[in-house]
Structure 1
Amino acid sequence: MEIPVFVLDAFTNVAFKGNPAAVCPLMQELDDSLYQKIAAEMNLSETAFITRTNPSDTFATGSKFHLRWFTPTTEVNLCGHATLASAAALFLFEKNINSTLMFETRSGLLAVTQQKDGYLMDFPLNPPTKQEPNEFTDLVQAAVGNNPVQDVVLSSVTKKLMIRLADSCDRSVLTNLKVDPVALLNADNSGRVKSLLITMKGSPESQPGYDFYSRVFAPWSGIPEDPVTGSAHTVLAAYWSKVLGKKIMTVFTSTPLKVGDWRRAWMVLSCCL
């Protein structure tokens, strides 16, 4: 059996930047073990598998597809950059004729709309709840050491724990953190946390100005650090929108993004081969 594989860089318009994802459009479902082996072979943070919901559709004519995401070690419930890459692969290489593509996923129905300068991705918000820092003492220590922490929140839906560094911290504190993925795994194996977000308030007044900065670590899913992740921003955008009182934000991971939230989170993003 021949399986087509496209590798695209999402969240960027420059080759070899952003976050790479592998995309496999499949004419039929495969065994789960084969999905996992392919993802392990690709060894990217996520490999996406697209299948048709209607057997009479083609990848050029269909507007709704099934979509699943696998890391090198496990299947995940939500992945932003691989969703964007999946839509881009259908638009660019399969010449899909529709302006909007819908994906049936573990996280519900997700939409990506083709626009003149990129793609608009509609993602659900996952507001986190405040936690007692002492519940995650070992994990916080492993992640940020003795640097001051202003907030610890958890999205129980996505199992993403977010640590907000104190506003007194310089951005270099976040940039220079040396986070050991093995130390994170050893600090928490309860199953409550599958991804760790470290964030801090930005300076919109500066040039260029950003509302917040973040880094994302997910060794529990075989990803030591994710360069830029859409699913993390369903938590980050929900948190910072409330804190800052803003609906549209410009943020920085390893790649600048614009995110906003109405009833759902949306991201204006681009994808580059």
Structure 2
Amino acid sequence: MEIPVFTLDSFTNLPFKGNPAAVCPLVHELNDDLYQKIAAEMNLSETAFITTINPSDTFTTGSRFRLRWFTPTTEVNLCGHATLASAAVLFQYKKNVNPRLVFETKSGDLTVTQKKDGYIMDFPLNPPTQQDPENFKDIIKAAVGNLPIQGVFLSTTMKKLIIRLSDSCDRSALTGLNVDPAALLSVETDGQIKALIVTMKGSPDCQPGYDFYSRNFAPWVGIPEDPVTGSAHTVLGSYWSKELGKKKMLAYQCSSRGGELELEVRDDGRINIAGEVVTVLQGIIRL
């Protein structure tokens, strides 16, 4: 069996920046064990598998596809950067003729449309609720040490915990964090958290004008640090929109690779997440 595979860097216009995802367009479904083995072999934060839904459709003519995402260790319910990469493969390499594509996923229908310099994804919004920091003191200590924090918030639907650093912190406090994934795993074992997000207010007055910064750690799903995370911004976008009183925001995830996300919180309880994509590899998996 030969399976086409693409590796694309999402939320960037430069190779080796942003977040890499592998994308496999499949003529028919494979079994879950094989999906997981391919994802482990690719060893990226996510490998996406696209299949047609209507038997008469092709990757060029179809407008609805099934989409699944696997980390090296498990399947996940929502992934932004691999959705962006999947749309890019269909539009750029399969020459899809439709103005927009709909992906049927474990998080419902996700729509992606082309824009001048990238793609816009229509994602669910996942508002977090404020928490008592005392209930999370061990994970806070493991993540940010003694840095001052401004609040702790949890999205129970996404199992993502947000730690907001104090506005008195410089951006270097966030970029300089050295988070030990083993320490996170040892202090959070009950399954209520699958990702830890550390965030801080941005500098909208400085070019290019980022409204907030973040980093994302998810060792619970086999990703010590995810470089640029679309799903995290379904939570961050909701939080910062209320905090800043803005619907449209520019966000930067300041991992070592770094990536930029354009956000628009909508009145219908969803969020547009836009970004650019660069292809770095095209090949064939032989089984």
Instruction: Flag whether TM exceeds 0.5 (same fold).
Output: yes
Q: Which residue of 1 aligns with 2:265?
A: 261
Q: Which residue of 1 aligns with 2:182?
A: 182
Letter in 2 for 1:25: P
Separation in 1 of the partners of 2:16 and 2:210?
23
CA–CA distance in structure 2, aligned partners of residues 244 and 49 of structure 1 = 37
Residue 134 of structure 1 is matched in structure 2 by 134
Q: CA-to-partner distance for each residue in 1:123-158, whole Å, 9 max, x for gaps?
A: 111000111111111111000001111110000011
Whole-angstrom CA distance in 2 between matches of 1:239 and 1:21? 26
CA distance in 2 between counterparts of 1:117 and 1:150 reads: 36
Mapping 1:70-81, distance limit 5 Å: 70-81=70-81
Consecutive aligned runs of 4 or more in structure 1 exceeding 4 Å deviation: none
* Amino acid of the structure 1 residue aligned with 2:271: A
Identity of aligned residues (%): 68
Q: Deviations over 1:29-52 (max 9, x none)?
A: 111011000000000000000111
Give 1:218 deviation, angstroms: 0.4
Aligned ranges for residues 58-97 of structure 1 at < 5 Å? 58-97=58-97
Structure 1 residue matching 2:24: 3-state secondary structure: strand
1:33 aligns with 2:33: yes
Structure 1 stretches lacking a partner, 5+ long = none
Question: What are the ranges of 5 or more consecutive residues in structure 2 without an aligned counterpart?
Answer: 280-287
The answer to whether the 8 Å contact 2:260/2:275 transfers is no
Amino acid at match of 1:58: T
Per the normalisation by structure 2, the TM-score is 0.93
Q: Which amino acid aligns with 2:5?
A: V
Residue 224 of structure 1 aligns with which residue?
224
**1:170 is aligned with what amino acid?**
D
2:172 paired residue number: 172
Verify: 1:160 aligned to 2:165, yes or no. no
Say whether the 8 Å CA contact 2:69–2:76 is kept in structure 1. Answer: yes
With the length of structure 1 as denominator, give the TM-score of the two structures. 0.98
Find the aligned partners of 1:222 and 1:99 in 2 and give their Cα distance: 35
The alignment covers a number of residue pairs equal to: 273
Deviation at 1:85, TM superposition (A): 0.3
Q: 2:278 is matched by which residue type in structure 1?
A: C
Equivalent AA in structure 2 for residue 9 of structure 1 = D
Q: What is the DSSP-based 3-state SS (H/G/I as helix, E as strand, rest coil) of the residue aligned with 1:138?
A: helix
- Within 2, Cα distance between the matches of 1:203 and 1:13? 22
**Partner of 1:270 in structure 2?**
276
| CA distance in 1: counterparts of 2:196 and 2:62, whole angstroms | 36
d(CA) in 1 for partners of 2:274 and 2:67? 20
Please show how residues 173-212 of structure 1 align to structure 2 within 5 Å. Answer: 173-212=173-212
**Aligned counterparts of 1:85 and 1:236: Cα–Cα separation in 2:** 21
Determine the C-alpha separation between the residues in 2 that align with 1:247 and 1:88. Answer: 26
CA-based RMSD: 0.9
Q: Is the partner of 1:4 in helix, strand or coil? A: strand
Q: Matches of 1:31 and 1:203 in 2, distance apart?
A: 47
- Asked if 1 retains the 8 angstrom alpha-carbon contact of 2:73 and 2:221, the reply is yes
Q: Does 2:122 match 1:118? A: no
**Paired AA for residue 13 in structure 2:** N
8 Å CA contact 2:251–2:260 kept in 1: the answer is: yes
Distance between the aligned counterparts of 1:58 and 1:139, measured in 2? 47
Name which structure has the greater RCO, CA cutoff 8 Å, separation 6+.
2
